[in-house]
Structures are given as C-alpha cells and as structure tokens.
Copies of this chain bind each other. A is one copy, B any other.
C-alpha cells in the first residue's frame, strides 16, 4: 500500500470504528433503558437506568468526535445498523436476571473491545475511546445481584449460563459479519494498517485471534459469576 492509500484506509477504518461504537452505545442505551422496566424494585430500576444514561454519555462523546472529523454521525452509524439490531433482536432478555446478565456481558465485552481498538488509533480518537472506558464499570451492582440470585436458587445457573453463551455466540456472529463487510475496519483492529505489507488473509486470521482473546476473557468472567461459559 502507498502511504496515501494507507491514510485513506485508516480514515475509513476510524470512521467505521467510531460509527460502530456510536451505534452500539445508542442501542445499548435504548435496550437497557427499556429493560429498566423489568426491574422488580425501584432501586434496581434506578441502577439500570443509570447504566443506560452512562451509555448515552458515551454515545455523545463518540458522536462529537465524528462531527469533529467532519463526518455525519448518522452516515457513519448506518453500515452497522443491521448487525447491531440483529444482535439485539436475537438476544431479547425474557426477564430481569437475563437483562442483568446481558448488561454485564455487554459492558465488559465492550470494554475489552475498546481496549483492543484504542491500541491502533491516533491520539485524538484514542483519547475519546479512553474517556469512554474510564466511565465504564457502572455494572458492579449487576455482579452482586446475579451472584446473590444464583446462591439463592442454584438451579437458575444452568439457564443463565446458556443465556450467556447465546449472547456471546450472537456477538461473535455479528462481529464476523461486520469484519467481512468492512475490511478496512478489520484491518485496523488487527494492526494491519500500520504494517503496509500485510494482506487481507492475514488480517482475518489476526481478527480471529482478537475474538479468541475476547472470548477467553468473557469465559473467565462468566466463571467468576458462577456460570460456565
């Protein structure tokens, strides 16, 4: 790749990444906020609502960065609407505990993904992703709540473990879709854009390795929650 082709690919990839993050945060906001309606107590409702409001703050940060880059945020989000909506369509929680487990997996998996992605970004875009990362971790109450529910009724752990696997499986499926449809983004996330001699085949292999790392971290977290991943 020539330097200018690399620059052009990098710009496409960063717009893609920020567009994906923006739409992911916006829909996370929407789903969490509507899941707050499943809360059996006012306290639980307020806490899930607080997580949702934090996601909206993240959306706003990324939205502003896209505007700064001279990109129309809705245009940047559009390519990811189908995959992200499909993820949520296929992972509709059927109750309060399922919504908490989904919120926890979504939050932690997203944080891992942001950490991986930040590594390959220019300083200004990285600062935005890191600001979002610093504001994450509103889900501590989720861990306590789910753990207490499992201790109280160990039978539910099998169902919740299955639910966790479904969410992770669906996330991987949609990630693969996105990677094949947005090659510049996949290349960015594997570091290939900083290595001009890399080819697409290697990119997808490296992308697969990143997914493996995310899956392993997810598995460790599920285990610590008392669920087999």
The residues of A with any CB-CB pair to B shorter than 8 Å are 23, 26, 29-30, 33-34, 36-37, 41-43, 45-46, 49-50, 52-53, 56-57, 59-60, 63, 73-74, 77-78, 81
Contact = CB atoms under 8 A, between A and B. Distances in A.
Contacts of A37: 30, 34
Report how many copies the assembly holds. 2
Given A42-B81, A46-B59, A63-B46, A52 B74 contact: no
Contacts of A42: 23, 26, 73-74, 77-78, 81
A156 to B, nearest CB: 25
A66 to B, nearest CB: 11
B36 A30 contact: yes
Nearest to A88: B37
A45 B27 CA distance: 9
